[in-house]
């Protein structure tokens, strides 16, 4: 693959930014339902063992390890009148909807049969989502090379992603998963989950098509990269050379820790709401709005901090602050100083939840913006633009949220003795304390590792600007710019 044109340094038009960001609604909706409700649905509603469910989701993650890089490679090498990314984005909509509806409607049968259905449907959904999200994320470094504009665009993606996810959570808690005569515990409402699957599928398809159509006019402005026919072995060697990149590997490892933490929190959220926090229906309906306040704050905070200081340093600080505030809520529970269940408890916890969300989402925004900057660092070394490969790795890490996170959550439930279907009103307080303690220890450890890794990221604004200048000069001279090792 030869060196292509360097993208333009520019501020994107409002319509392009909004439609591009709106595409993240699809992943947000999928991630919220998959991460927050799938484990409790198969465990407490359908009656499957939580540890087995976690292992099945983890097994599906193994397929992602192969699917995501292949989507990235194929996307990088796609040539069509619609460019490299858009054919994949358009084609993903229908398979996502079909796989998603299958995931939430397993047929009656044995536990083994239902676990097999879960595995197959999860693989279809996650692979189809990759076919949209990997090419979509790869557009970030192609749309602009501006260091700060990338953070701003990424902030929009995260804002819309959280809006999509929390809209699904709000719909679930406020409309579909309410107590009824048939289902006294709203979180165990089977009919509500079936309706949630339909509405979230519709939302995902709409978001994908709006994003693809809204950015379609940018195709002619994207980098034109030539490719040569290569053997499969040559493609694999090129892939290895591309990902053998210190900055990329640091972001991947930090992301595995941070997103796995998020995944564990998502998967255990409803267990904590029911067993630990003991939140009522009214409080659950207010929760998505509280979390969105935090996400909206990150939308403002991350780009501003990114303009005034080092992205890696800021990401490190945000991870530490987010983990500290989050763990603090559980420490209050363990030491017994929380108010009794009710609105006084909500008034104490919800501001802390919002602050935690603001810090955590800010770290994710800056991490994704740093991944976009890695593209030119790699181009300066290899002479190739491999946005798809890099963002395939990034997206694989994000999917650890609902893969590795659910697997770890299932293990935590098993250690605490809560792996089987248990009525929250009869759950042992000692088991709930063990659940909280194991979670806090794992969450705090992963957060500190992620924070440390961000401090090892090898370049910042000055190096990025110098690199762009070298690439632009090489392009004017008609030769690929290869930096000295």
pLDDT band for position 184 (cuts 50, 70, 90): confident
Q: Give me the percent of the chain exceeding a pLDDT of 90.
A: 48
How far is residue 132 CA from its own chain's centroid?
Answer: 13
Per-residue pLDDT for 3 more than 70?
Answer: no
Distance, in Å, from the CA atom of 292 to the CA atom of 166, rounded to the nearest integer, reads: 7
Does the pLDDT at position 421 exceed 90? Answer: no
Q: Is the pLDDT of residue 383 over 70?
A: yes
CA angle 363, 130, 458 (to 5 degrees): 35
Q: What is the widest separation between alpha-carbon atoms in the chain?
A: 75
Model confidence band, residue 484 (pLDDT cutoffs 50, 70, 90): very low
- Structure confidence at residue 2 (pLDDT): 39
**What's the mean pLDDT in 129-151?**
90
pLDDT higher for 177 or 400?
177
Question: Does residue 361 surpass a pLDDT of 90?
Answer: yes
The whole-chain average pLDDT of the chain stands at 87
Give the tens place of pLDDT for each residue, 10-25. Answer: 788 999 999 999 999 9
Burial class (CB in 10 A: 0-12, 13-18, 19+), 182: exposed
pTM (two decimals): 0.77
The answer on pLDDT for 310 being more than 90 is no
Residue 204's pLDDT band (boundaries 50, 70, 90)?
Answer: very high
User: Average of pLDDT values for 225-253?
Assistant: 75
Two structure tokens written together for 285 = 């309906």
Query: Which pLDDT does position 476 carry in this prediction?
Result: 66
Summarised one tens digit per residue, pLDDT across range 271-282 is 888 888 888 888
The 10 Å Cβ neighbour count of residue 335 is: 8
């Amino acid at each position: 693959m030869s060196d292509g044109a360097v993208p333009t340094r520019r501020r994107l038009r409002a319509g392009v930014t909004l439609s591009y960001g709106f595409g993240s609604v699809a992943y947000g909706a999928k991630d919220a339902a998959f991460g927050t409700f799938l484990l409790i649905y198969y465990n407490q509603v359908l009656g499957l063992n939580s540890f087995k469910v976690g292992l099945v989701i983890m097994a599906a993650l193994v397929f992602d390890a192969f699917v995501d890089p292949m989507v990235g490679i194929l996307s990088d090498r796609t040539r069509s009148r619609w460019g490299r990314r858009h054919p994949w984005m358009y084609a993903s909509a229908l398979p996502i909807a079909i796989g998603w509806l299958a995931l939430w409607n397993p047929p009656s049968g044995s536990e083994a049969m239902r676990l097999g259905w879960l595995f197959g449907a999860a693989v279809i959904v996650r692979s189809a989502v990759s076919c949209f999200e990997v090419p979509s994320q790869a557009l970030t470094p192609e749309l602009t090379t501006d260091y700060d504009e990338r953070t701003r665009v990424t902030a929009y993606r995260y804002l819309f992603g959280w809006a999509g996810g929390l809209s699904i959570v709000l719909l679930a808690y406020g409309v579909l998963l309410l107590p009824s005569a048939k289902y006294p515990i709203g979180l165990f409402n089977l009919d509500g989950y079936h309706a949630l699957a339909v509405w979230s599928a519709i939302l995902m398809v709409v978001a994908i098509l709006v994003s693809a159509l809204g950015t379609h006019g940018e195709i002619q402005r994207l980098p034109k990269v030539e490719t040569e026919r290569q053997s499969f072995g040559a493609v694999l060697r090129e892939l290895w050379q591309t990902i053998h990149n210190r900055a990329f590997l640091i972001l991947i490892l930090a992301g595995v820790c941070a997103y796995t933490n998020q995944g564990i929190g998502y998967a255990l959220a409803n267990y904590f709401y029911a067993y630990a926090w003991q939140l009522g229906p009214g409080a659950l309906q207010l929760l998505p709005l509280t979390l969105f306040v935090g996400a909206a704050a990150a939308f403002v905070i991350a780009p501003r901090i990114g303009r005034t200081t080092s992205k890696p340093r800021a990401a490190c600080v945000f991870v530490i602050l987010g983990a500290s505030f989050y763990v603090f809520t559980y420490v209050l529970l363990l030491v017994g100083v929380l108010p009794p269940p009710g609105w006084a408890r909500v008034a104490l916890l919800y501001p802390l939840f919002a602050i935690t969300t603001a810090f955590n989402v800010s770290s994710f925004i800056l991490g994704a913006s740093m991944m976009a900057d890695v593209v030119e660092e790699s181009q300066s070394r290899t002479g190739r633009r491999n946005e798809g490969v890099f963002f395939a790795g990034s997206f694989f890490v994000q999917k650890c949220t609902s893969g590795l996170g659910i697997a770890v959550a299932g293990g935590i439930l098993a250690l605490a003795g809560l792996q089987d279907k248990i009525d929250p009103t009869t759950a042992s307080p000692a088991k709930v304390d063990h659940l909280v303690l194991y979670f806090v220890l794992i969450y705090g450890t992963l957060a500190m590792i992620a924070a440390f890794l961000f401090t090892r990221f090898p370049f910042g604004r000055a190096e990025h600007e110098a690199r762009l200048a070298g690439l632009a000069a090489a392009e004017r001279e008609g030769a690929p710019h290869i930096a000295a090792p």
